[in-house]
Structure 1
């Protein structure tokens, strides 16, 4: 007889996780669907992976439980469930009904208790049990017969908790998870625990004394007067917390494991629900041919091969196909134009032979919907076509709506928004060395037309969602026009003096060789410095340096380990310098030499506009954002970047402390705002406030510490992080942060409020309505939740700074045109804009660049821009 397998799913936990893991999707009736979709994806995966014979989904019955009788504040810090999630629960129940999966809920009990009760019954009856949840509290249920699966990333990736895994991870048994919660508490459920006792201390105590009861029976043996004092003072809370964290295994509900038998879904009911919710991908997985978008309809799309004189639409989708990821090379192997009532497949040769088609592409009144406008503009420039009239960029719109999904193709976007029948690029053209145009023209011509049809439909869906999110202004006034500015910058490129890089390469090779010799002398023997294994033996066995960290393969010799060993032996500094110069040589010098475009003598970096969740730009081939300018050798690389015209110079404009100014505006802190309004040195001012000294009494060390905390606060720095930065104790760092918040109370209020807002809505926004979704903000994992809280604090600041510099780029492009200047915007690096310009235009630029950049976005404090120019990028400082 086959083994009976029962799967128990924590319905509320999984739905909550799904809601925050996915963007706010909805169907054309306005019903939000992201939690339902995520829940379905999880359900499909666990059913396929585990093949259970029995399934039950348990739900919480309400807010009040029997635990509230023990502790009224239980779960008292939980935010109200978002209405967008609440409205999806009835559909999740419909989904389970269609799957023919049993559900259960019992008044005054939580889903955990039902799962705990039924898993025990199932074990006693010989079932193999699996539990699926996002809540690590359920790991206490793990036994040799029950495995607890906890959602790890997104909604479908899970971590399996068995007694062995729990022992490896915590050094505890599953039942001791309850005791751990009793001692350390659980902030997500507002379980107090013993104040001042964290996870590490709790585990250490339980390793020695096994249970909460054991700890208190041996309290006299506990080392550390302060810890003993905390335990004595928190005794009642410890026992109460253990009781609250204990899952009830005899809940009063009448259901036997056999009653949860799973026979498979009702296909018709499931198909009907998927159609109602517009889950195109799930319908496709079921093998359902959808009436409105059947394969037959797609194959019978009325499209023509364009001929000179054919009428192109006044508004339509433009599809340009190019296999080369580096579109600067101008590779276009296919073109399609799709309107509401006609579609054309167009040969790339037409770009050079058809005046009418070129005119249509360059006509600003002919509205085009595209997938990636920057790519299209640059690609067409190689064919002497200046694309105009782009009114919607699906790639950028999808990125704004869900910035966590960055590198996606049109097929993925279409699938996410219920627009079916678009294949991925890889499916049509292959990948890597095997990438090629299909021999059958019909395949890729159909692919282009399908993409165009999808673009038309997505434009309406995405535009509506952007309007609902109040983000239409962000795309229409900032991101869409910025793509054109970035395309011009990519096309222009920046000139590079190859000879300078070649000379640097020789100099660095010589320096690296000299350092190698010194390292060998310190070691007393020759060895492979790039081998962590050999280096570990030299440092920790031969030289006897203290071991900081070990890995599975031996001693760790990572950068953070070596930095902690600085001062222990002169070899350490040499190795760190050796690594820095080696990376400079391989990544930057050799990397730059490889990407110099021979015909122009320039590098044409490609800007990633839809990658960073904060909205910041980055660049590739080459990455000019990360040249390590803290090293003198790194700064010298900038000497290679020169003007492309004779008697021109490089002009640089850099925002001064933009993120701190944004923080002053967003927090509304009077002291911080006053400092910027009076143009004070903000680090000196902070040192004066925190150390309670006059300006003349501020030492260099005080200012250095103030600077570290100023910038650290922007990133939600912890006392541990600050202590590491400044080389002070954690206690001193905490005191410093506390004094900072006393000096700038508005900042403290902002930090607290923004975290609460993120917990309530699932996202944070910039001043320009750019959103970042933070599903981990409600995680029960302390590290994940802490990182999410820091992200919530930082994103509105860093994201607003990114919006400001993007606005500055747009306004500068317009102003240069208005003033009829020859100056060109070449690069954006962090908070800096780099131009090249004739010397005779410098006086004009010195005036208008700060004027434009400082007025990019009105804040309650002034923006400040520093400008400089020189013969190279290095000199423009």
Structure 2
């Protein structure tokens, strides 16, 4: 087998990935764009190169032996954005999961580690490939070593061999160092000789071969000014060459046999992919080996053929098995009941046809303990059974106790509490094409085991909730909310199919118009949806400046086009074309696919146990992602209509709820007073930060103030703010500083909440929702910094989530108490959407703001805006 060593410059590739991809977050709030890009490149390297030996080198710190030569080496570099810094620990974890060696060496750079190991490998007869974004490493190219440099992004790679360097520069690899000595390197703050650029340096080296030979022959150089510069900066040029020279004799304490690479465990890699939220990559790693199965203890149970009072007695642990994710349509595979008399499996048909079971299920005085109350209630409701009397939900309890836990099914909770009663669904049913439902004997035992988990763990989790002072959060908020959400899901929202189809046609017409206009502006017809063809039109035919290149051509990503929007009219039309195309395919077609064929309703599923902050999300369809910035996007809401004739849609949303929560939690007097005086908070912030009067606040000032107001809530950094406002990081940093000076209460809150998190290991919302942040005491600065930002923003976002959940419960109670026909249909961000008869609107105008504004008591007033109309669009 050929010996092949691949050496990866970890810092360089991570930087490239970070700036090549837009900022991405996973569901835990961790930025993942650099990790994702790094992973994609890593997997490509493994596939293409199939290395026998592999190592990723990292820089050990800011100071190296080169700083003794020149203290300003790499000076002037901007501080690494915290959004990138926080990703490095995860990249290291990722490499560990892939069983890839990583190494860093105090006082040396990754380049030196790579230089040393590549030399050693060449001497041992290895073929070597170096992967980096730093052209300094091209000096290592040889007959045995190829240096691959990422040009733009992470997929467009240029391979440097001695022949390629000769063709490109007319030089040999060793002369790259001489070239750097002459021209310097702004990115590393290597000064070189002022006025000497790449072309001049290459020309001189072709004539004199080395820097030393040139400097000893200055008299033979053409051009008086160049001679003068070379004479004046002779010592600086020699120093610059020394700085640019990669040492190949670093005291590296890792030997080639130690970095032999034999592949990775799919299971380990799948684990970190799941943690990071890289679900799309899971399919690329192949089948996952199942964990060694623990011997399950035997259980006694009965397969029921005829229901009776002994089985349907008081208080029971009820488990209803649904395998498919979409429980609105998935069949019930069976159910189990565990009570004081025994354990029982009931076939679905036996249960839903039995009046005895229906009476038992709908008897509110009979307590039921379940797993996933919402799913259980909705699935039974489809069969005409309205489950009542739910007293405990193991899924919600487990989520509240630690929202960071990934709960795949009830076996995840059993495993956490070391109760080996049941296999995971994946192990029992199989995965993908191999998934199947076993026969009655095995199936019945599997489902009964899940009900036994409920019995075994209910008291334990209930006790932990009490210890955490989260019992009120569970019993008064989350459990009743799950039943309200079940009703909302079962009720659904009616869709005007004809209106959606008409929108589709209207957008199709606009797309045709845009297509024609784009062809006119381009001067020819081409495939607008082909990045390759579009790149040729924009950057070759029209001569627009190219910013990024990919392996297949020019980058035409949204961020690239947006920066070119002012350069040519065609760009705006292309961006509009893309937005409309996505609206048509993703949202209009997507909605039409999920409309129930008989009721013309969509039944979205609200995920109550996903986010670490407590926010609800929705899927199938995701109603929180309908784009409303574009007029056509907003119009999609016209298709959401009342289910009854002469009814209307009524929408109510909290005004700036997170900023109001911030004012309350931080106790900042200025913020509190601004809300009490009902001032425009963004204008007020602009006045404070820019030291101007209200009538002097420009629209741009207000826009900047708005960005920092909401940015503070989400733990924004100077880099994040600079990206959103299109300003420099220095300006963004100054802006954040002035904001915190203007609102000292907010500044104190940020410092205090970090201390609290360090002391107790978690932060809490107003209603005692917890988020554990063990990373807050990490010795790693990057991990700790991210944890501190999480500690700052979680109480704000989480409390806002608590408030709207409380409002939903209070509204359901109020509608019931007043015998109103109005129904709560949706919750989207800070907005509640109802449908109601026209005659109830005047009453809703009174009670909805009243209930929502009094859901909790804060130091500032909560404010609710409402509107109504024949569609959801009109109710905005």
CA drift at 1:756: 4.0
Mark the CA change 1:391 to 1:131 in structure 2 (over 3 Å): closer, same or farther.
Answer: farther
- 3-state SS in 2 of match to 1:687: helix
CA drift at 1:464: 2.5
2:193, 2:651 → 1: CA distance? 62
Mark the CA change 1:169 to 1:572 in structure 2 (over 3 Å): closer, same or farther.
Answer: farther
Match of 1:664 in 2: 663
Deviations 1:168-215 (A, max 9, x none): 995453799xxxxxxxxxxxxxxxxxxxxxxxxxxxxx99999xxxx9
CA drift at 1:795: 1.7
Q: After alignment, is 602-611 or 791-800 more displaced?
A: 791-800
After superposition, residues 739-750 of structure 1 pair within 5 angstroms as: 739-750=738-749
- 3-state SS in 2 of match to 1:328: coil
Mark the CA change 1:820 to 1:169 in structure 2 (over 3 Å): closer, same or farther.
Answer: farther
Contact 2:58 2:110 in 1 (8 A): no
Mark the CA change 1:774 to 1:534 in structure 2 (over 3 Å): closer, same or farther.
Answer: farther
CA drift at 1:484: 0.3
Match of 2:806 in 1: 807
- 3-state SS in 1 of match to 2:763: strand
Deviations 1:2-40 (A, max 9, x none): xxxxxxxxxxxxxxxxxxx9x9xxxxxxxxxxxxxxxxx
Contact 2:95 2:102 in 1 (8 A): no
1:731, 1:644 → 2: CA distance? 54
Match of 2:387 in 1: 387
- 3-state SS in 1 of match to 2:368: strand
| 1:363 and 2:363 aligned | yes
Contact 1:486 1:607 in 2 (8 A): yes
1:518, 1:636 → 2: CA distance? 24
CA drift at 1:782: 6.4
After superposition, residues 121-200 of structure 1 pair within 5 angstroms as: 152-153=92-93, 157=97, 160-162=100-102, 171-173=111-113
Match of 2:856 in 1: 857
Mark the CA change 1:662 to 1:288 in structure 2 (over 3 Å): closer, same or farther.
Answer: closer
2:779, 2:551 → 1: CA distance? 28
CA drift at 1:556: 2.6
Match of 1:710 in 2: 709
Match of 2:41 in 1: none
CA drift at 1:399: 1.8
Match of 2:609 in 1: 610
Contact 1:139 1:174 in 2 (8 A): no
1:526, 1:476 → 2: CA distance? 63
Contact 1:651 1:835 in 2 (8 A): yes
Q: After alignment, is 800-809 or 719-728 more displaced?
A: 719-728
CA drift at 1:548: 2.1
After superposition, residues 384-783 of structure 1 pair within 5 angstroms as: 384-406=384-406, 408-432=408-432, 435-439=435-439, 441-774=440-773, 777=776
Mark the CA change 1:340 to 1:638 in structure 2 (over 3 Å): closer, same or farther.
Answer: same
Contact 2:55 2:102 in 1 (8 A): no
- 3-state SS in 2 of match to 1:717: coil
Contact 2:868 2:874 in 1 (8 A): yes
- 3-state SS in 2 of match to 1:772: strand
CA drift at 1:810: 0.6
Contact 1:495 1:642 in 2 (8 A): yes
Match of 1:349 in 2: 349
1:207, 1:603 → 2: CA distance? 68
CA drift at 1:505: 0.3
CA drift at 1:311: 4.0
CA drift at 1:822: 0.4
2:475, 2:59 → 1: CA distance? 41
Mark the CA change 1:169 to 1:591 in structure 2 (over 3 Å): closer, same or farther.
Answer: farther
CA drift at 1:598: 1.6
1:851, 1:400 → 2: CA distance? 29
- 3-state SS in 2 of match to 1:327: coil
Alignment size in residue pairs: 652
CA drift at 1:783: 6.0
1:166, 1:839 → 2: CA distance? 73
CA drift at 1:137: 7.5
Deviations 1:457-489 (A, max 9, x none): 121232232223332222221111101000110
Q: Which 5+ residue runs of structure 2 have no aligned equivalent?
A: 1-25, 29-51, 65-87, 117-176, 196-249, 259-289
Mark the CA change 1:450 to 1:703 in structure 2 (over 3 Å): closer, same or farther.
Answer: same
After superposition, residues 85-96 of structure 1 pair within 5 angstroms as: none
1:551, 1:517 → 2: CA distance? 27
1:207, 1:314 → 2: CA distance? 87
CA drift at 1:762: 4.2
Contact 2:868 2:875 in 1 (8 A): yes
Q: After alignment, is 791-800 or 450-459 more displaced?
A: 791-800
2:726, 2:603 → 1: CA distance? 41
Match of 1:838 in 2: 837
Contact 1:149 1:160 in 2 (8 A): no
Deviations 1:800-846 (A, max 9, x none): 11111011001100010001100000000110000001111111111
1:423, 1:207 → 2: CA distance? 64
1:395, 1:287 → 2: CA distance? 23
Match of 2:315 in 1: 315
Mark the CA change 1:338 to 1:725 in structure 2 (over 3 Å): closer, same or farther.
Answer: same
2:489, 2:628 → 1: CA distance? 23
Mark the CA change 1:780 to 1:394 in structure 2 (over 3 Å): closer, same or farther.
Answer: same
Contact 1:759 1:778 in 2 (8 A): yes
2:429, 2:754 → 1: CA distance? 45
2:59, 2:97 → 1: CA distance? 14
Contact 1:825 1:834 in 2 (8 A): yes
2:745, 2:784 → 1: CA distance? 23
Mark the CA change 1:735 to 1:352 in structure 2 (over 3 Å): closer, same or farther.
Answer: closer
Contact 1:303 1:342 in 2 (8 A): no
2:459, 2:99 → 1: CA distance? 39
Q: Which 5+ residue runs of structure 1 have no aligned equivalent?
A: 1-20, 24-127, 141-147, 177-205, 225-245, 250-256, 258-283
Mark the CA change 1:636 to 1:418 in structure 2 (over 3 Å): closer, same or farther.
Answer: same
Deviations 1:419-465 (A, max 9, x none): 113122233334456644323x1100001110110111121232232
1:767, 1:578 → 2: CA distance? 45
Mark the CA change 1:780 to 1:419 in structure 2 (over 3 Å): closer, same or farther.
Answer: same
Deviations 1:644-691 (A, max 9, x none): 111111001110000000000111111001111111111121122122
2:113, 2:378 → 1: CA distance? 60
Contact 1:163 1:174 in 2 (8 A): no
Deviations 1:769-797 (A, max 9, x none): 22223455556776655544433322211
Deviations 1:722-780 (A, max 9, x none): 23323333333222222211110111122233334445544332222222234555567
Contact 1:653 1:834 in 2 (8 A): yes
Q: After alignment, is 524-533 or 492-501 more displaced?
A: 524-533
2:854, 2:179 → 1: CA distance? 63
Match of 2:148 in 1: none
CA drift at 1:319: 1.3
Mark the CA change 1:516 to 1:477 in structure 2 (over 3 Å): closer, same or farther.
Answer: same
Mark the CA change 1:808 to 1:552 in structure 2 (over 3 Å): closer, same or farther.
Answer: same
Contact 2:414 2:420 in 1 (8 A): yes
Contact 1:351 1:383 in 2 (8 A): no
TM-score (norm 1): 0.68
Contact 2:60 2:108 in 1 (8 A): no
1:786, 1:415 → 2: CA distance? 32
CA drift at 1:341: 4.1
